[in-house]
Amino acid sequence: MSAIQVDDIEGLIGTELYPEVGEFPVEQGYVWTTCASVENGNPLFWDSALAEEVTGGPIAPPTMVSVWFRPHHWAPNRETPGLPLQVHFDLKEGLGLPEAVMSDNTIVFHEPVRPGDRLSTRQILRSVSEEKTTKLGTGRFWVIDVEYTNQRDELVAVESYTGFGYRRPAGSAERS
């Protein structure tokens, strides 16, 4: 994929784009690092006997789902990873909308993520609006889903991002 033009939009709605397999499996150590960072004492993540009884074995905090797709800062022989939400940047480029904001995002949680899982992701363009003018400028709203599945192809989470790509009104000040 590359820049998404207006004529491309209809054919791309609902299409799975940028499929990617996580660089490393879900790991217990990073679960503890994240729990420590927010002082999360939920015994599901610290007490294996309790996790066995409640969740059928250890799980990762559901809100960590996107963490498994952020690469380590360095890895040998790595090709340049794609940008998260590449579809967002393709839309900005193809529609000629240099500025963009994310108005909100939603995460829906499905099957639990477990240490050892190898997750995959894909981006799906759900909608692009007609041109609209807001106080920011004139542009289009779009909704992009990021779906996460495990190695059994079970859905584990869907993130939905609502973005607004726009052009500033002529004569408005540049933002830093």
Partner 1 sequence: MSAAAAVRLLHGEVSVGDQLPELAYPVTATTVVLGALAARDWRPMHHDKDFAVNRNGTRDIFLNTPNQAAWFERFVTDWTGPYGRLQRMTFRMLGSIFPGDTMVFRGVVTDTGVDETGCGWVEIDIAVSVDDDPKTTCKARVALPVDDQDNPWTRQGPRWRP
Residues making contact with partner 1 (CB under 8 A): 30, 33-44, 47, 49-50, 53-56, 61-64, 66-67, 70-73, 102-112, 176
- Shortest gap between Cβ of 86 and partner 1 (angstroms)? 17
CA separation for the pair 83, 166 (Å, rounded) = 20
Nearest distance from C-beta of residue 146 to partner 1, angstroms: 13
Cβ closest to partner 1, residue 110 vs residue 167: 110
Residue 76 CA to residue 84 CA, distance in Å, equals 20
Q: What are phi and psi of 58, to 5 degrees?
A: -65, 145
Q: Which is nearer to partner 1, 4 or 85 (CB)?
A: 85
Judged by beta carbon, residue 12 or residue 67, the one nearer partner 1 is 67
Q: Find the shortest distance in angstroms from Cβ 5 to partner 1.
A: 30
Strands (E), the chain: 16-21, 99-109, 120-128, 132-133, 138-149, 155-167
Q: Which is nearer to partner 1, 27 or 93 (CB)?
A: 27
HSE-CB of 121 using CA atoms within 13 angstroms: 21
**Separation in Å, CA 52 to CA 23, 26, 117:** 27, 18, 17
* Helix, strand, or coil (residue 47): coil
Q: How far is the CB of 175 from partner 1 (least distance, A)?
A: 9
CB of 44 to partner 1, least distance (A): 4
Q: Which CB sits closer to partner 1, 65 or 128?
A: 65
Report which DSSP code applies to 162: E
